[in-house]
Amino acid sequence: MEYQLYINGEWKDTVTGYVAEDKNPADDSVFARVHFAGGAEVEEAIAAAQRAWRPWADTPAAQKEQILLKAADWMQEHIDEVADVLMGESGSAFGKAYFEAGFAVDILRTAAGECRRVFGQVQQQEAGEISMIRRLPLGVVAGIAPFNFPLLLALKKVAFALAAGNTFVLKPASATPVSGVMIAKALDGAGIPKGVFNLVPGSGEEVGNKLIEDERIRMVAFTGSTAVGRGIASKASVLFKKYSLEMGGKNPLILLKDFDVEQAVRIAGFGAFFHQGEICMCTSRLIVEEPVYDPFCEAFAAYARTMKVGDPHQKDTIIGPLIKQEQCQIIDSQIQDAVSKGAVLMTGGTHEGNFYQPTVLKDVTPDMRIFYEESFGPVTSIIKAVDAQDAVRLCNDNQYGLSSSLLTNDLSKAMSLSLDMEAGMVHINNATVSDNSTVAFGGVKNSGVGREGGSYSIDEFTELKWITVQYTPAQLPF
pLDDT at 126: 85
User: pLDDT tens digit string along 382-428?
Assistant: 999 999 999 999 999 999 999 999 999 999 999 999 999 999 999 99
User: Is position 18 within any domain?
Assistant: yes
Catalytic: which of 41, 100, 246, 289? 246
The CATH number that applies at residue 242 is 3.40.605.10
Q: Which of 364, 459, 375 is nearest to 135 (CA)?
A: 459
434 belongs to a structural domain: no
User: For residues 167 and 137, what is the distance between their CA atoms, to the nearest angstrom?
Assistant: 9
Instruction: Tell me, yes or no, whether 335 and 392 share the same domain.
Output: yes
Q: Domain range holding 221? A: 1-246+442-464
Does 477 map to a domain? no
CA torsion sign, 188 to 190 to 196 to 201? Answer: negative
103 vs 151: CA distance, rounded Å = 9
pLDDT of residue 314: 97
CB 205 within 8 A of CB 233: no
Question: Could you tell me if 5 and 201 are in contact, meaning their C-beta atoms sit under 8 angstroms apart?
Answer: yes
Assigned domain for 471 exists: no
**Residue 104, in any domain of the structure:** yes
Residues 9 and 145 in one domain: yes
The conformation of residue 208, written as its DSSP 8-state character, comes to I
Are 98 and 436 in contact by the 8 Å Cβ rule? The answer is no
> In angstroms, rounded to a whole number, what is the distance separating the alpha carbons of residues 22 and 25?
9
Number of compact structural domains in the chain: 2
pLDDT value at residue 16: 94
139 with 199, same domain: the answer is yes
Residues 150 and 279 reside in one and the same domain: no
Predicted pLDDT of residue 127: 87
CB 105 within 8 A of CB 69: no
Q: List the chain residues with pLDDT less than 70.
A: none
Domain membership of residue 473 (yes or no) is no
264 shares its domain with 230: no
DSSP letters, 56-114, are: HHTS-HHHHHHHHHHHHHHHHHTHHHHHHHHHHHH---HHHHHHHHHHHHHHHHHHHHH
DSSP run (H or E) holding 428: strand 425-428
CATH number of the domain enclosing 381: 3.40.309.10
**CA 2 vs CA 22, 103, 144, 185: distances in Å:** 10, 26, 22, 14
CA-atom Rg of the chain in angstroms:
24
Neighbour count for residue 235 (Cβ, 10 Å):
16
Instruction: Report DSSP state, residue 22.
Output: E
Together in a domain, 202 and 311: no
Please state the pTM of the whole predicted model.
Answer: 0.97
Q: Are 142 and 217 in contact (CB under 8 A)?
A: yes
Same domain? 93 vs 66: yes
**Residue 267 placed within a domain:** yes
How many residues in total does the chain contain?
478
Question: Is 326 a residue of the active site?
Answer: no
- Residue 264 shares a structural domain with residue 373: yes
Kind of pairing between the strands at 30-36 and 140-144:
unpaired
SS (H, E, C) 215-231: CCEEEEEEECCHHHHHH
In angstroms, the CA 153 to CA 95 distance is 17
Structure confidence at residue 81 (pLDDT): 98
Q: Give the whole-angstrom CA distance, residue 317 versus residue 310.
A: 6
264/239 same-domain check: no
